[in-house]
Structure 1
């Protein structure tokens, strides 16, 4: 299985606790996901903040409006510094997303490192080259834009 990485750094004009409060709330993911993906959290009674072992179910429409079930698990939490979510079921053969937060000169440096694999062997590698990678880049570019708008410095 060929694995790929996507990496982003975003400097946020907020405190570490404000960053953690927003990003550790599982319902906030829909606020930073492109509307055309029709991202919906299906899990009911979610806690206000993630914890180790939390399983979250979503429905998302990443391509051509086709609904896909995505189930992720929060596999590691080190509040307020980091957490990891991993796909249990969904469109990828493998998905491991590390979120880290570092205080830096009165701001927060947020880092996202996604390691992923596309199913279907060589066909999946071709799909990654033609569609998947650019779609992920587009989603993370959108996220960065929305996050910076949300936390715009006054």
Structure 2
């Protein structure tokens, strides 16, 4: 299993950052490179606990669909989503928010496992983990820039 841990310091109120991180609309804007579009479940606005969203996106030259569900949420401190259907064998993304000196620390803990046994593990290690980290960093940059306006 691969794990990505990121911390992003944002000079904005915790509630604002929390809402931006769960905004379907902002997510679609931040992932324009992969043409990510919400096509089922919650397709706009702020996703809530127990809601699902199905995304269609082009990753690595292939259109894929991915359905996630928010399995826990404590406003404005955390929410966690898991993959219900998609190309990964397992995917869990914890979003944690902490107040620090008038700013917000946004923490991502992103855990995933690819299918295909040893080939999937090698693909994770040599390519996918870095690809997913860069994907999250780009998304976090958009959240930060939007929150700090």
The TM-score with structure 2 as length reference comes to 0.91
Q: Distance in 2 between matches of 1:45 and 1:115?
A: 23
| SS of match in other structure, 2:55 | strand
The reply on whether 1:115 has 2:115 as its aligned counterpart is no
The reply on whether 1:130 has 2:130 as its aligned counterpart is no
The reply on whether 1:56 has 2:50 as its aligned counterpart is no
User: Structure 2 regions of 5+ residues with no counterpart?
Assistant: none
Aligned to 1:41: 38
The reply on whether 1:85 has 2:81 as its aligned counterpart is yes
Let me know the Cα RMSD of the aligned residues. Answer: 1.7
| SS of match in other structure, 1:103 | strand
Higher strand share: 2
Alignment: residue pair count: 149
Aligned to 1:17: 15
Q: Distance in 2 between matches of 1:91 and 1:45?
A: 20
User: Structure 1 regions of 5+ residues with no counterpart?
Assistant: none
Q: Distance in 1 between matches of 2:42 and 2:87?
A: 25
* C-alpha deviation, 1:152, in angstroms: 3.6
* C-alpha deviation, 1:52, in angstroms: 1.9
The TM-score with structure 1 as length reference comes to 0.88
| SS of match in other structure, 2:76 | coil
Distance 1:45 1:73, change over 3 A: closer
